[in-house]
Amino acid sequence: MKKNSPAWLLGGGMAAAIGASLCCAGPFVLLLLGVSGSWISTLTAFEPFRPYFIAVVVVLYLWAGWQVHRPIEHCPEGSVCALPKNRQRYQVIFWIFTVVALLLIFSPYWLAWFA
């Protein structure tokens, strides 16, 4: 992975989004998979860290969004963002990851409808 590539920002943001949803989506997914036990309730121990995970998601996605959508004139010659095809691919991937991250972040609210 290249140093100036926004892929590591998207990966870090997705990892933080998963961390933010562990308290709510984690137990729900495990129950859907048939895994049960009293230990599942201990996954709510991540709840106090949820705001920090969400802050990391927002910062990383803002930085990645800036790198993916910045004007092409600000891209160094021969870099990933200077090539229109790569640029468009990164923009599509960015928005797909953003939607998934938002679904994970807001999982406590929409998972309540299934309970």
Structural domains counted in the chain? 1
In a domain, 2, yes or no: no
> Measured between alpha carbons, how far is 19 from 52 in angstroms, rounded to an integer?
10
In a domain, 1, yes or no: no
Highest mean pLDDT among 15-24, 59-68, 105-114: 59-68
In a domain, 46, yes or no: yes
In a domain, 30, yes or no: yes
Closest CA to 87 of 99, 104, 69, 62: 69
Higher pLDDT, 99 or 17: 99
The 10s digit of each residue's pLDDT in 11-53 is 777 777 777 776 666 676 777 777 777 666 666 677 787 888 8
Record the pTM: 0.67
Residue range(s) defining the domain that contains residue 49:
7-113
Q: What is the pLDDT of residue 4?
A: 57
Mean pLDDT computed over 69-83: 79
Please give the C-alpha separations between residue 91 and each of 14, 73, 86, 114, in angstroms, as whole numbers: 15, 17, 9, 32
Closest CA to 29 of 109, 104, 93: 104
30-67 per-residue burial string, b: 16 or more CB within 10 A, e: under 16: eeeeeeeeeeeeebeebeeebeebbebbeebbeebbeb
Q: What is the pLDDT of residue 79?
A: 74
Q: What is the pLDDT of residue 78?
A: 73
Q: What is the pLDDT of residue 92?
A: 92
